[in-house]
Structure 1
Amino acid sequence: MTEAQNTFTLTDPVNGNLAFKLFFFEDNSYFDHLQRNNYFSIIWIKEGDGKLKSDFSEYDVVQNTLLAFAPYQPFMLAEEQALSGVAIQFHPDFFCIHKHHKEVSCSGVLFNNIYHPPYVKVDATSAATFNNIISLVKAEIPNKGLAQYEILVSYLKIFLITASRLKTEQQELEQKPDMANKEPYILQDLKEAIEENYKTKHSASNYADMLNISAKALAKITKTHFNKTISNLIAERIIIEAKRELYLTNKPVKEIAWNLGYEDEYYFSRFFKTNADVSPQGYRDTVGFGRANEHQRVN
């Protein structure tokens, strides 16, 4: 365990890499350049505002916003008013959201949600919960005693569940359909079509045909509501599934590519690297893959 100023870090005793980290920031210097980390990042902006660039989009962010990024998801922050807050980072080997999906249900909500911005607004009730958890984590990290790993994971789970519930509530409010506006229904149909067909249909025109709408009209609706193109959505969905397979299984890259509709392993590898900025094997080497045994406890 190392502690410097307001940074509290646990490292993996096997490889010396980051396992879990809590730190407080008073300016934007840590996030003002493109981030592509091999761990999960949660950033609670308590004060200030600015611009978030993530994946293919740009968003306005203000105080009391919680940002969440999966491994190798690109992001950077440009501040307009000084940003300050707290961040939690954890490697999948410390806590894997895929393995524990039934417990925390944050994959597809807080993380890996291609249809909504990678943030959630923090209300007063959730802020109190988050502050309490952060205080408990800060107090626990120096304790190298029995069951430290289990205690920290328990705190992390509560944090993730609280944030996921909050985002789900906010999404449900945003998605209430307007009877005078058919666009939400088309968007829902598009999401269902992508989820059912992304492994075999990779072009925007495929989905326009399925939804019986012109490609131009669908592109306009998609850009307006998701701030992304249909091709962006399809690519992100494929990459999320590829990452999941690379982490949770020891399947060869060729088999993963084939299962995602790519006959040419090398074409798929180029596609993956273009979108994730790392090769499939590089991702597996740095993020890891699901072991038969549970992760070694961090001491």
Structure 2
Amino acid sequence: MEDPAFLEKINRLVSQTGELLFCLHPVHDETMTVPGQHSLYTIFFLEEGEGMYHADFGVFPFRGPMLLFSTPLQVIYMQECHGLKGTMLQFHGDFYCIEYHKAQVGCNGLLFNNIYIEPSIALTPPEVKGFKKILADMEEEFAAQVPDEMVLRSYLQLFLARSSSAKLHALSTSDPKERDEQMEQFMQLLEKNFLTLHKPNDYANLLAMSPNTFSKRCVRYFKKTPSTLIQERLILEAKKKLHLTRQSIKEIAHALNFEDESYFSRFFKKFTNVSPQTFRDKTGISMMADVAP
């Protein structure tokens, strides 16, 4: 269950069964001080303020205006926050499926479910103005006697599409001097070999680097250790299969090369604090599970 204090929201849309589908509420310095897991996608629109954003094992300093992102059941919280002003937006995968709408918004793998890039976007003044307008439109719709789900879903899609555009622009204008070709190569090697190579030394050897140098470069470039990235990549794949397919837990364990379902479940729970079945129960099975490939 979600933390009741966390759910003290101004605007909420719930399903006929009482499940929280979409919500907005104001952000302040005490909003996220305690680590928590929430079954919805979460976006923080921060006009002002600064602090440290923790998402699973990554720690990201931020200073507004910014957007921060997290996926369902990530462990997220903030520390050393000062002067936060903004809005937290949350939506359930049943309300808006980011995989189904990837052609329209392109946010899956960019804003969400990407272990390599920071889950944040620094915003320009025109971008801040645009996001504030969308949020104001959402709040106006929530104020209606019977809020229209389709209208709210359209506003959410626009918010996500604008976020994706802002992220792509930020990535395209980043300083090329900051690019580390060997770390980019590590990312490609991990994508190719995450099912079979699970030790940092495996990748250090492939890159012809000493383990110590490899680790330092990785932390500097990705803000995560090699071990964290390797584990996160496996967990990400497990989450995809739990949410986007109807494969059994046993079938998923086998597909990910775990020796048995029990070991897979222990590994998954160690890094997510929930069992694979609990993750599936809380996030649901996407409509994409029934879409022919």
TM over 0.5: yes
The question of whether the paired residues in 2 share the 8 Å contact of 1:177 and 1:185 is answered with no
Counterpart of 1:10 in 2: which secondary structure? Answer: strand
Q: Deviations over 1:154-203 (max 9, x none)?
A: 1111111111121122223336256xxxx711011111111111122222
C-alpha separation in 2, matches of 1:291 and 1:130: 28
Which residue in the other structure is 1:234 paired with? 230
1:9 to 4, 7, 12: 12
Which residue in the other structure is 1:262 paired with? 258
Which residue in the other structure is 1:85 paired with? 86
Question: For 1:146-225, what aligned pairs fall within 5 Å after superposition?
Answer: 148-174=148-174, 176-177=176-177, 184-225=180-221
Q: Evaluate the alpha carbon distance shift between residue 69 and residue 124 of structure 1 in structure 2; reply closer, same or farther with a 3 A threshold.
A: same
Q: Evaluate the alpha carbon distance shift between residue 6 and residue 219 of structure 1 in structure 2; reply closer, same or farther with a 3 A threshold.
A: closer
Following TM superposition, where does structure 1 have runs of at least 4 consecutive aligned residues deviating by more than 6 angstroms? none
Counterpart of 1:97 in 2: which secondary structure? Answer: coil
Percent identity over the alignment is 33
Question: For 1:130-149, what aligned pairs fall within 5 Å after superposition?
Answer: 130-143=131-144, 148-149=148-149
Counterpart of 2:180 in 1: which secondary structure? Answer: helix
Of the structure 1 ranges 268-277 and 5-14, higher mean CA displacement relative to structure 2 is found in: 5-14
- TM-score, reference length from structure 2: 0.90
Equivalenced residues, count = 284
Which residue in the other structure is 1:273 paired with? 269
Q: Deviations over 1:227-270 (max 9, x none)?
A: 11111011111111211111111101111111112122111111
The gaps in structure 2 that reach 5 residues or longer are: 1-6
1:116 and 2:112 aligned: no
Which residue in the other structure is 1:244 paired with? 240
The question of whether the paired residues in 2 share the 8 Å contact of 1:48 and 1:79 is answered with no
C-alpha separation in 2, matches of 1:293 and 1:149: 23
C-alpha separation in 1, matches of 2:228 and 2:288: 34
Alpha carbon RMSD of aligned pairs, Å?
2.2
Counterpart of 1:270 in 2: which secondary structure? Answer: helix
Which residue in the other structure is 2:64 paired with? 63
C-alpha separation in 2, matches of 1:232 and 1:293: 28
The question of whether the paired residues in 1 share the 8 Å contact of 2:244 and 2:289 is answered with no
C-alpha separation in 2, matches of 1:45 and 1:290: 29
Tell me the amino acid that sits aligned with residue 275 of structure 1: F
- TM-score, reference length from structure 1: 0.88
1:42 and 2:43 aligned: yes
Tell me the amino acid that sits aligned with residue 158 of structure 2: I
